[in-house]
A and B are shown apart, each in its own frame.
Chain A
Amino acid sequence: MPKLRLLFTKRGKACFIPHVALPQVFARAGKRAGLEFNYSEGYSPRPKISIGPALPVGVIGLEEPVDVDVLSWESPILERWNYFLPVGIRFMKGEEFEGRSLGKICKAASFSLFILKDFEPDGIKELLISKLPEGSILKVETDTVDKEIRIDLLDPQQNSPGLFVKALVSEGLIGGWKDIRMVRRVIGFWEDSRVKPVI
């Protein structure tokens, strides 16, 4: 049976549900919606649900992937599933897929960082490149009008966006997470100099 690959958003208060708790959130909501899952083997069988690289608590996710192994599905299932999910978590689309796992294909992620203080955009790119692991910064763009820094990051499984915060703190630009707000706009492939979603 082919698996289902889905994209969801994580907004509002749901941003404070830890990433590792998500499979159970999806499983329980799915069961309430009448979905039947395929289960893992072993002493503690669980619905087969795999999430992508960790999204830290307090970060909004706009196109987050999850793989689900269900016995069957039809297109209205997403609306029905959405009804049973907590406020702030919504599926946007899903399709059947075969192939490599999310851990293997999520090689890049794109972030928007909003700094709540005045900051000097010059030098931000160099700062991040110097503080983060070599090659991990793929692109940095700053927009002083919207006070937004857009960062494309390589290998999100290894490199946490917390590293941005650490870098900015080390230069005294911010005090900590309380001085920024972060959105992971998309996570997936690096292609044509941009990050593309998995589906």
Chain B
Amino acid sequence: MKYTDFPEFSSPQWDLLASVQKPSRYTGSEWIAQSKDEKNYSGQHLSFCLAFPDVYEIGMSYVGFQILYSFLANDIRVNPDRAYCPWIDMEEKMRAERQPLFSTEGKVPLKSFDVLGFTLQHELTYTNILTMLDLSGIPLRTSDRKDDDPLVIAGGPGALVPEPLADFIDVFCLGDGERFLPDFIEMAEKTRGASREERLKEISSIPGAYVPSFYVPEYSTDGVTFSGKPVLPVSRVIVKDLDDTPYPENMIVPNVPIVHDRIPIEIFRGCSRGCRFCQAGMIYRPVRERKPETVLNLMNKLLENTGWDEVGLVSLASCDYSGILEIVRQSEPILKKWNARLSLPSLRMDSFSVDLATRLENLKRGSITFAPEAGSQRLRNVINKGVTDEDIDSSIHSAFEHGWQKVKLYFMMGLPEETYADLDGIADISRRVFNIGRKYTKRVNVNVSVAGFIPKPHTPFQWEPQNSMDELARKGKYIKSLVRNRRISIHYHDPSQSFLEGVLARGDRRLCQVIETAWENGARFDGWTETFSLQIWMRSFDQCQVDPGYYNERERSFSEKLPWEHIDTGVSRDFLLRERKKASESSLSPDCRWNSCNSCGLEKVCFSSDKGDMFCQS
């Protein structure tokens, strides 16, 4: 046989792929919703690359991209593709070989796309955005981009706190992508050929669009104010009826294992529980459900079209879905037909949820997970988690009764109003869970994970000082020291990563320089323990003469003008303040879906209201 019988061997990509970890991260060829043959590559279309700033196996697990990819693929004006951040070994090799970053499917250089759309899921992925831009030859700063550079846009939860990335992103997309994108696509097409400045000006008038280059921040002891046009605040856009919103009936299926390797079906968006620490619970309001018939129909189609053998019902609190029992019952024949199983990502701490989980989950596969979050009733009330000691006991009893042997518990430390007695409570609950379990089985195993609390914008705790790294380390060690039982393992998150996340989470535009400096100094994949370097970041803060503690450890006054308040999520400042005050009284605000309205600010768009525009008014 001849070497030339195998043309793939001569491809410049072959050596690159053969020399890196997990080369399948870069090869694509997944089963996708539409065959590339069906799309017309005449160049008339708007080429749109969805860019996920982390590795392939994490990006492929993100349900948002499945939804948006399908949404774009079904728009005749658009030609979608995807890109993921190369791991550090691939980045090094690409630079050595001078290979630019290509999209996954068409192998098109990212620089050639009309639009590059990032998703901001986690603050510790921000440096990866710079990697992807730089490897593509796209100027990092919006001010340096030319007319033929792609429009660099960004959505997801991080878009609602845009300032730390304001120098790098042309347009932030606030709110639901399905609501934002049609207007954006129309405008992007309409303004083809115009100058960048003109295009951004037109785009800035779209509902949900925040163009940071049109605003100048001013810093004072009162906080941050912005001057510019269009008039601020910019409001988040909201899809009112999820049933009326397209959901993919076919999905991109990987050829290799990914983190969440199953069909995701979004059963509802938003959350009404009102946990005070939770940013997602505030920024995705109000609750909008898909009807059970819609969910079941999607389940059947997706199992048929994708070949996956597991379905995940995705939402912020799946047990709260009003039709959950109906779904579980009626999905049985569908699952049987396709030899598939159903899974729920998170459980409430009550016996109903445990019963539900038992029906679905493979007991032998792993552990049952609960999130009490705080070690005492008082502190749980402070954060509005509302789980009682009786709830904990009854759900734990229920879990072991149903045959579970391994329990995983999530807690936080460094919460507002916390005392060391609450940390004792974490150890107490862990021991109590173990002791309950021992009555049922000798093989009981309790795994406790404690995360440092990071106050987030747009939540009632957005003014809180974050515990320092030393404090968190002390608390973590303290909790560990309380439990000697080897069958109870207690693990706490690296406080230095929590530190950085806290700074970026509540930053302003002055952090852009720090992020760029840190990236130049080698910061990559900051969310990964193997690549994170606190030293690089501290050196970068120093070089830029920025005090990180100003952002995360400082207690902010309630009158301070916060650098994210020019972004309106629909939840009012007044509500957040009220909730903060209630927290200090350990007073609960019950779930507004089953109790009275808590007047969060979204009354005009809420499920309980029949009227209301598709995007909220402040």
Chain A residues with CB under 8 Å of chain B are: 11-18, 21, 24-25, 27-32, 37, 39, 43-45, 47, 57-58, 60, 84, 86-88, 112, 114, 146-148, 177-178, 181, 183, 185
Say yes or no: A43-B363 contact (C-beta < 8 A), given A29-B307, A112-B1, A147-B3.
Answer: yes
Partner of A28, one of B15, B17, B253, B365: B253
Residues of B within 8 A of A30 (CB): 307
Answer yes or no: B449 CB below 8 A from chain A CBs: no
Contact assessment for A148 and B1 in the assembled complex, using a CB-CB cutoff below 8 Å: yes
Count of residues in B whose CB is under 8 Å from the partner chain:
35
B377 to chain A, nearest CB (A): 37
A120 to chain B, nearest CB (A): 18
Answer yes or no: B29 CB below 8 A from chain A CBs: yes
Partner of B18, one of A12, A21, A39, A58: A58
Answer yes or no: B195 CB below 8 A from chain A CBs: no
Residues of B within 8 A of A25 (CB): 255
Answer yes or no: B218 CB below 8 A from chain A CBs: no
A38 to chain B, nearest CB (A): 10
B333 to chain A, nearest CB (A): 16
Residues of A within 8 A of B28 (CB): 13
Answer yes or no: B305 CB below 8 A from chain A CBs: yes
Contact assessment for A146 and B31 in the assembled complex, using a CB-CB cutoff below 8 Å: no
Closest residue of A by beta carbon distance from B13: A13
Contact assessment for A181 and B3 in the assembled complex, using a CB-CB cutoff below 8 Å: yes
Contact assessment for A16 and B1 in the assembled complex, using a CB-CB cutoff below 8 Å: no
A-B contact pairs, 11 of them (CB 8 A): A16-B23, A16-B27, A17-B255, A29-B31, A37-B339, A58-B14, A84-B307, A86-B30, A148-B2, A181-B6, A181-B9
Closest residue of A by beta carbon distance from B256: A21
Contact assessment for B255 and A31 in the assembled complex, using a CB-CB cutoff below 8 Å: no
Say yes or no: A11-B1 contact (C-beta < 8 A), given A29-B307, A44-B362, A87-B29.
Answer: no
A70 to chain B, nearest CB (A): 13
Contact assessment for B307 and A32 in the assembled complex, using a CB-CB cutoff below 8 Å: yes
Closest residue of A by beta carbon distance from B25: A16
Bound complex: CA of A57 vs CA of B339, how far in Å? 30
Q: B299-330 toward A: CB 8 Å interface, digit per residue (1/0)?
A: 00000111111000000000000000000000
Chain B residues with CB under 8 Å of chain A are: 1-3, 6, 8-9, 14-15, 17-19, 23-24, 26-31, 253, 255-257, 304-309, 338-339, 362-365
Bound complex: CA of A31 vs CA of B364, how far in Å? 25
Partner of B29, one of A14, A28, A58, A148: A14
Contact assessment for A13 and B27 in the assembled complex, using a CB-CB cutoff below 8 Å: yes
A151 to chain B, nearest CB (A): 13
Partner of A44, one of B17, B257, B365: B365
Say yes or no: A21-B257 contact (C-beta < 8 A), given A60-B6, A146-B3, A148-B1.
Answer: yes
Contact assessment for A114 and B9 in the assembled complex, using a CB-CB cutoff below 8 Å: yes
Contact assessment for A183 and B6 in the assembled complex, using a CB-CB cutoff below 8 Å: yes
Contact assessment for A43 and B364 in the assembled complex, using a CB-CB cutoff below 8 Å: yes
Closest residue of B by beta carbon distance from A57: B23
Residues of B within 8 A of A31 (CB): 307, 309, 338
Contact assessment for B6 and A88 in the assembled complex, using a CB-CB cutoff below 8 Å: no
Contact assessment for B29 and A13 in the assembled complex, using a CB-CB cutoff below 8 Å: yes
Contact assessment for A146 and B256 in the assembled complex, using a CB-CB cutoff below 8 Å: no
**10 cross-chain pairs, A with B, having the tightest CB-CB distances, nearest first:** A28-B307, A31-B307, A16-B23, A13-B27, A86-B29, A32-B307, A181-B9, A58-B18, A43-B364, A12-B8
Contact assessment for A27 and B307 in the assembled complex, using a CB-CB cutoff below 8 Å: yes
B294 to chain A, nearest CB (A): 22
Closest residue of B by beta carbon distance from A181: B9
B39 to chain A, nearest CB (A): 16
